[in-house]
Amino acid sequence: QVQLVESGGGLVQAGGSLRLSCAASGRTFSTHTMGWFRQAPGKEREFVAAIMRDGYITSYVDSVKGRFIITRDGAKKTVYLEMNSLKPEDTAVYYCAADSSFLIRRDQRSYEFWGQGTQVTVSS
C-alpha cells in the first residue's frame, strides 16, 4: 500500500515556475514507477510525466517536454515535478500516482495509487 500527498500548487503568472512535491508513505515507494497526471476543467485527466524506480528513465507528454522535469528522492520518498515557463493551458489539478509494475506507462489505468491532487493556476 502506498499513500500519496501532493503539495506545491498555487497561482503563478505565465512564464513563471512551480515545483510540485508528492510525499509517499509505505515501504514499496522504491519499487514503484511514479507519475504525474493533470485534469483541466471540462477535460479528461491526462498523463504529464513519469519516472521509473531507477530515477533515470523518464517520460513526458509532448506539451511539457523541455519545460517540466520529474525527479525522485528515494531517501525522502518524494517525487517532484519542476514546472518552468508555465502557460495558461497548464492550469489543472495535478495528481501524483504510483504504478507497481516495472514499466513506465502513460495509461492512468496502470496506476494503482493516487493522491488527492493539488491545484495549479497559471494566469495570462
Write out pLDDT tens, residues 21-72. Answer: 999 998 778 889 999 999 999 999 999 999 999 889 999 999 999 999 999 9
**Mean pLDDT value across the chain:** 95
Q: Categorise residue 26: left if φ over 0, alpha if ψ from -120 to 50, beta otherwise.
A: left
- What pLDDT sits at residue 110? 94
Q: Which tops the pLDDT comparison, 89 or 29?
A: 89
- What pLDDT sits at residue 19? 98
CA angle 38, 96, 31 (to 5 degrees): 140
| Whether the predicted pLDDT of 73 surpasses 80 | yes
| Cβ-Cβ contacts under 8 Å for 21 (sequence gap 6 or more) | 6, 7, 8, 78, 79, 80
